[in-house]
Structure 1
Amino acid sequence: MNLNNNKKQKLWYNEPATAWVEALPLGNGRLGAMVYGDPFHETIQMNEETVWSTGDHSLDKSQSKEQVKKIQEAILEGNLKEADILTKEAYDGTNQGSYQILGNIKLDFQYGEGKQKTVHTYRRELDLETAISRVRYTVGGVNYRIESLVSAIDNVYAMSMTANEGLSIQLEATLDRPENYEVHNGELPISIVMKGQCGDETSLHYCGMLQIIPNFNGWGKEGHATCENGKIRIENASSLVILFTAATDYKSVSPEQLCIEYLQSAVNKGFDAIKKDHIEEYSKLFKRMELSLGEDRLYEFLPTNERLMRLSEGDMDNALIALYYQFGRYLLISSSRKENELPANLQGIWNNLMFGPWGSRFTININTEMNYWIAEQCNLSECHEPLFRLIEKMKEKGRIVAKEMYGCRGFMAHHDTNIWGDATPQENWPSATSWPMGAAWLCLHIWEHYEYTMDQEFLVKAYPTLKEACEFFVDFLVEDKEGRLVTCPSLSPENVYRTEDGYETSVCAGPTMDNSIIRKLFGATMESAQILGVDEDFIVQLEQIKNRLPELKISSNGTIMEWPDDYEEVEIGHRHISQLFALHPSGEITLDNTPELANAARKTLERRLSHGGGHTGWSCAWIINMWARLQDAKNAHKYVQTILSKSTYPNMFDAHPPFQIDGNFGATAGITEMLLQSNGGVINLLPALPEEWSNGYMNGVRARGNYEVDMEWQNGELTKAVIHTNTSTAQGKEAIQTVRVKYKEINKYIVRCNDEVVPYKELEHGIISFEIHNGEQYSIVRK
């Protein structure tokens, strides 16, 4: 089957954007653009990944080993009020700065001598197949066409404007940003430059450069271009190409010279060649996957914002869900490329403010991790690499914090980090600041990348990072009154409990999420060491410590216990559901292997949701993944509908509110989990397929073990699945492996390879196992 019908892969609208959350995003990971599509007063809002204000990178003198010891003693002795007060004093966090808007390209158009103001047949769109924004409209009987893209190859935003006849444009162009900028004429022909700093005298310097290439030869009219006082004026142009690029001194000695080089190269290449190379490069990533959940042709004729509105009124639109899914993949490609310096932040790469929501930083108590849940499963493994670079950057400062604040080896980070990889406590937020698990959770992405790719060369390079993350906990964990080893001080991210005497606090020892993360981290590190044949003694030490971690417990109300004791929650419907980390993403809780815990996880979700949980976009997205892991198709589908109808802006950005991109990525991951899961060594086909998606197909989805899977289904039943094996990145993987596959009534299916039936063994829980040879593909079809 083939989904490459271009109409189905577009967001489109019949009027210009009037708000930022209506504009359409473009990006190459380094540069981001938001295109409004106004025919007369166009704004293209620009970002560059390293435009950050400077934060405070130092540890406060109050954050010392002695202070931490006092807090530990108070917690372990049960003096929680005292521990809370001491924690608020000791964890008076630093300011890690903010990701900032780079600026705006402002384009004021006039059309012909009559200066017509009436627009007909307007349409703007974002083509996900090509990562190109198009705006089409008619003014004065002339049809205008504008195409925009951000090229990863040429490092420019490029825009082409053409018309079908007699185009004569008057254009005034300039650059601006809310503060800290100056604009002057550039060295290049018909160019202007915007320069400044991102804050005080210690901040990064940035440079943005705009160049326009007009064509005056098309219709015999005399035209000319001028640059004066930081403005470009074009008269009587028959076509236009607009180029923009930007850089900072984060790594470049001369951002302005770098911009000149980018633009000179782009001008010499020309728009058509830039576009051709851009489409070819981008398509190699985007076209790896296809998804159809059933079609409704009626909706092809409705703008995207109207489709979202109808869905919020209760309509079903499966094609819109498939579009939303691919939009999530598009956003990761556009904000996190292999070549990038930085991973996707809290807003990907798109931010129109000097101080973005929550600083638009890398919030690592779930949000940054959620950004990358789709990287491997959605066949975008290369997009994971900027996150690994950030982890490596964090190690240097994470070691300092581990040593000076906690007296430990290894490295760690708290709940936030930034462009410099800061590991210090951030701000003074009692329910978040003192959490010590940020680096540990991020490191699980290293293991996930290996599980999907089986790339031992990668694991050899990454293993020391996993080991260092473990070393911190080897030293940091303390023994509690029951003889268990616990994190202390810590908290369950952003949540608050009430003690028996009525005191409200977050500080505790050994919250459930910490234990789950450490179990997963230790397990991944132990398995990595075994694969590589190293550190036998360290494996033994980790195993001994792992066995002394607090186990998952069920509370008196039947839910998974969030804290070490059965405390009363202050906000039952809290947006974080951290105690269910073991369900998702960890996979420690499963229906087959831990049914009692799975039932308690269900009750946890039901209790949270019955008290208003899932009210933010990213939380709703996490809930989709959790219902999928519980194989509850009805509830998983309900929250897919919920995030689209209640937490999605007209341009399909996720609404926390405000915009946070993790909701987009998390929901895309959740839809994948509904259709295919591969945790626990089993490829589970259609584990949470809802009735509403009874017909469809999914091609190119990835599974752990370095597999790629295609599936088709009709009337809610699997008709065919194909498992592709791959040796290209699986160094060290044996030629013959055993794969396990799960599906309801799987014994009614046969497995074929090269037209021959492959024998399989039937196992418990509807699982079959069979041998596979790398480089072959295996079809699962009805007998």
Structure 2
Amino acid sequence: MNNHKLPIRGVWSRTPAEKWEDALVSGNGSHGVMVLGDPVNDTIIGNHCRLYLPQGNSHKIPEMAPFLDETRKLIKLEGYKEAIHFYYEKAQELGYQGLTMSDPFHPGFHLYIEADHQNYDDYKRSIDYETGELCVSYQVNGKEYKRRTFVSQKTNMIYHQLSAGEYNLHLKQYQHNKMEQDSFTDGNILHTQFQYVYSNGGYDVILQVESDNLTPLNNRAGYHLYSESPILIAMEIVPYQSSKDRAIRKKPLHQLASYEELYKSHSMVHQNMFKRVNLDLVTDSERERSIDDIVAEAKQQETISPVLLEKMYDAGRYMYICSAGELTPNLQGIWTGTFDPAWSGDFTFDTNVQLSIAAALSSNLLEGIEGFFRLIKELIPEFRENAQKYYGCRGIMAAIHASNSGKHFHWNEEWPLHFWTCGAGWLDHWYFEYYRFTGDKLFLKQEVIPLLEEIVLFYEDFLVDDPDGTYRFTPSYSAENGCADNAVQDVAVAKQVLQNLIQAYRILQLESVDIEKWEYMLNKLPPYEINEAGALKEWLSEKEENYNHRHFSHLYPIFQSREFNEESHPEWWEASRVAFDKRLEAWLLNEQGDTTSTHGRMHSALCATQFHMPELIEDIFHMLVKNDCFYTSLMMSHYDHQEVFNVDGNGALPQVIHEMLVDYSHNRLTILGSLPSSLVKGEISGVRLPEQITINRLNWNLQKRKVEVEITSAIEQKAEIYLPLYKKAKLNRTFISLQPNQTKTIEINL
């Protein structure tokens, strides 16, 4: 009988993975691992967050600043098409090579494991989200075999255990024309060196194999193994920037403890992160069912499947724990099985990175968000070069695509992404939010303010005056929906940056003559406009609205900055709702819409939480399920039908669930603000909110019309209780007083 321990918090399947996208996945924020194939020919793919293959492209930004005035004249007199053409021609004259993808994310190694048997049955494979362990089990003639894998949070290595038996294992020879590979064995150490052709960098892969008997293979980099006890394989990827930085190891990595000892020390760390928040919608018996059965059943239902929703929620946090730490998740998290990933599998900053980290703070995963800050700090010098070379400005301008380089080369006439200048300000949103969640004033002073000041320096040099005295953003681009002066996201981000900088100085009681200047700049930003249909305009200029689009850039004040709500600015709020409805009609709910992108659906859902639209959120969850936007691991695809492995939706989905259950902005604690009626009861715990609030527990039962909230604040403050879906609820629109570190329990009758 198969004694495979099925995960309660996780997924399992009876079907082997035939492609890398459907693999079991795990990681620790530096290393990632993927397990796929069948027991006869299994594959382990090792990944590392630093592996981006240099392509040998030119890395010289053209000196375009001298052409800015002429470009602006053309925009004003002839329009953007002519201006973009002029700008592009000048760039090419200066040697610009055209739209260039960033260096692609690539796998570190493929390790193939061949068993001595051919027939097997009772196959199961699983991911335990709670511990990060992957498990494959099967039987051969009544004998059980098991393969277990995890990436250690303690030793920063990948471990794989095979049942006793006979195997061949070998590394794939990549034979890539941009990388040289050389392998050798030394006892039970298999060492492979990878040298990049177009840089001085590369990486080493070191495998240590613990087996009763092992013999090096003659024709491949690997071993023949035979062991009467379980076999342990330890794997490590060591990147380096230059050959002098290489750490060559010929001796064992260390004296390996047993798999169980290594796993125990790791799982304590992983479990601690995973259990900081918890969503309970179903029983353990429901959770133990195979993901294949759960998904098949969910497709037949007209309402949300609570068990699948809970697993989607857990999968999102699992992705983040695995992928964030040393850096932040890229488009594929920390996993790839190809040298040619979509959009290079890079860090894409015009929506994808932001969605992938959307739930990091509310899930109390501060270790991961530190990786985001580390990445931005590494890219800042090249962001400065972007600002200077393209616009002659001080400060910083973020590239839309980045990996080994933060220089902006991803643009041409069709995709004028170099005209999108608000990226750095959007990235800073997470810096100031970190302060709001933690109250860390040292971080505010040392990290947030310097970044904000550099962004404002760019605006000081970039913005021009209109005759009416307001600023004009020209050129301007609403990603990725077209060009026209004064894209609303440009204005909204600049407003948030200036407000945050002024507020930071006041929080820290810092005196500066610049505060008056920043307030003056803030007052010069153009006001939002409403078109003849009553919708918030996407551009504050004469440009026809295009509602059939996957990006929601102009609704930045709704889903991201929370600049206003229905009480502070009712006209803008209502206009934003009209604009959102038109986007839904033309794109999200339109079968003829321009794309099926998961990131567009996630931004739709984040807007829906703010507009208190539970039915729409339920529809979006259904779209993801019925259109096969998940792989077996519940990692997501960018398009329908499992097309393009892409995890930004995973990062955003827990935030959607947090916001639909409990949310905080404008001193208002919104409870069950967008809860679909089909989720009759449940409980969530550990969610963190801005202003140092923690929801220790939120329990709801719609049948009994009862809600109980247990809340703690690190600081003294007042908050308004708001239940927009339950107007007659007792305590609705009531203020509560919170004392520092004192738990308060609120019982509400709906």
Q: Do they fold alike, i.e. is TM over 0.5?
A: yes
Matched, 1:656 2:638: yes
Check the 8 A contact 1:185/1:227 in 2, yes or no.
no
1:137-216 correspondence runs (5 A): 137-162=138-163, 167-177=164-174, 179=176, 180-187=179-186, 189-198=187-196, 200-202=197-199, 204-214=201-211, 216=212
Query: In the alignment, which residue of structure 1 is the partner of 2:53?
Result: 53
CA offset digits 1:125-148 (Å, max 9, x no partner): 000111100111111221112210
Deviation at 1:748, TM superposition (A): 6.1
1:249 aligns with 2:230: no
- Check whether the contact 2:397–2:421 (CA below 8 A) recurs between aligned residues: yes
**Cα distance 1:81–1:483, how it changes in 2: closer, same or farther (>3 A)?**
farther
Aligned pair partner of 1:515 in 491, 511, 524: 491
Is 1:133 aligned with 2:134? yes
Change beyond 3 A, Cα 1:251–1:741: farther
Displacement of 1:628 after TM fit?
0.6
Matched, 1:271 2:259: yes
2:340 is matched with which residue? Answer: 355
Q: Which amino acid aligns with 1:769?
A: F
CA offsets 1:618-657 (integer angstroms, 9 cap, x no match) = 1111111111110111111211222233222333121113
In 1, Cα distance between equivalents of 2:175 and 2:498: 47
Query: Which residue of 2 is the match for residue 758 of structure 1?
Result: none
Do 2:529 and 2:536's aligned partners in 1 also have CA atoms closer than 8 Å? yes
Offset of residue 435 of structure 1: 1.2
Which amino acid in the other structure matches residue 493 of structure 1?
A
| Secondary structure of 1:600's aligned partner | helix
The answer to whether structure 1 residue 575 and structure 2 residue 541 are counterparts is no
> Does the 8 Å CA contact 1:208/1:246 hold for their aligned counterparts?
yes
> 2:102 aligned to 68, 71, 96, which one?
96
Report what 2:295 is aligned to: 308
- 8 Å contact 1:749–1:780 — kept in the other structure? no
Over aligned residues, Cα RMSD in angstroms? 2.5
- What residue is the counterpart of 1:761 in the other structure? none
Give, in whole Å, the separation in 1 of the partners of 2:250 and 2:574: 61
Contact 1:169/1:236 (CA < 8 Å) preserved in 2?
yes
The alignment partner of 1:264 has SS state of coil
The answer to whether the Cα contact below 8 Å between 2:33 and 2:47 also exists between their aligned partners in 1 is: yes
Shift in alpha-carbon separation, 1:328–1:18, aligned structure 2, 3 A = same
| C-alpha separation in 1, matches of 2:440 and 2:86 | 46
What is the alpha-carbon distance in structure 1 between the residues aligned to residue 445 and residue 517 of structure 2? 21
Cα deviation for residue 418 of structure 1 reads 2.1
Cα distance, 1:252–1:558 mapped onto 2, change above 3 Å: farther
Q: 1:141 to 1:6 in 2, by over 3 A?
A: closer
- 1:459-492 CA deviation, whole Å, 9 max, x = no partner? 1111111111111112211123443212221211
DSSP-derived class of the 1:652 partner? coil
1:500 aligns with none
Secondary structure of the equivalent of 1:691?
coil
Q: CA deviation at 1:770?
A: 3.2
1:236 shift after superposition: 4.5
* One of 737, 740, 744 as aligned partner of 1:778: 744
- Asked if the contact 1:178–1:354 (Cα under 8 Å) also holds between the matched residues in 2, the reply is no
Match of 2:719 in 1: 739
Comparing 529-538 with 100-109, greater Cα deviation is found at: 529-538
Contact 1:176–1:194 (Cα < 8 Å) also in 2: no
What's 1:499 paired with? none
Aligned residue pairs total 719
Superposed, 1:594-613 pairs within 5 Å as: 594-613=569-588
Does residue 1:560 correspond to 2:536, yes or no? yes
| 1:767 pairs with 2:747 | no
**Among residues 672, 680, 700, which one is paired with 2:658 in the alignment?**
672
Please report how far the alpha carbon of residue 19 of structure 1 lies from its aligned counterpart in structure 2 after TM superposition. 1.6
Q: Contact 1:484/1:550 (CA < 8 Å) preserved in 2? A: yes
- How far apart in 2 are the matches of 1:618 and 1:124? 29
Unpaired stretches in structure 2, ≥5 consecutive residues: 92-97, 589-594
1:683 aligned to 2:673?
A: no
SS at match of 1:152: coil
The answer (yes or no) to whether the contact 2:185–2:216 under 8 Å persists in 1 is no
Mapped to 1, the partners of 2:142 and 2:319 lie a distance apart of 36
CA contact (8 A) 1:347 1:659 kept: yes
Range with greater deviation from structure 2 (364-373 or 594-603): 594-603
Structure 1 residues 420-429 or 534-543, which shifts more?
420-429
Opposite residue 580 of structure 2, the aligned amino acid is L
Deviation at 1:53, TM superposition (A): 2.1
Match of 1:374 among 348, 359, 367: 359
SS of alignment partner, residue 436 of structure 1? coil
Q: Does 1:414 align with 2:399?
A: yes
- Distance change in 2, residues 1:431/1:473 (3 Å): same
**Once structures 1 and 2 are overlaid, which stretch shifts more, 357-366 or 310-319?**
310-319
Q: Summarize the Cα distance change of 1:469–1:573 in structure 2 as closer, same or farther, 3 Å threshold.
A: same
Deviations along 1:371-426, one digit per CA (max 9) or x if unpaired, are: 11111011212210111112222222222332333222222223222234335555
Cα displacement (A) at 1:254: 4.2
Amino acid at match of 1:635: L
Is residue 721 of structure 1 aligned with residue 709 of structure 2?
yes
Judged with a 3 Å threshold, the aligned counterparts in structure 2 of structure 1 residues 771 and 134 are, in CA distance, closer, same or farther, namely same
Q: 1:423 to 1:573 in 2, by over 3 A?
A: same
Q: Contact (CA 8 Å) 1:682, 1:740: kept in 2 or not?
A: yes
Contact 1:122–1:137 (CA under 8 A) maintained in structure 2 = yes
CA distance 1:749–1:776, change in 2 (3 Å): farther
State whether residues 213 and 242 of structure 1, in contact with CA within 8 Å, keep that contact through their aligned partners in structure 2: yes
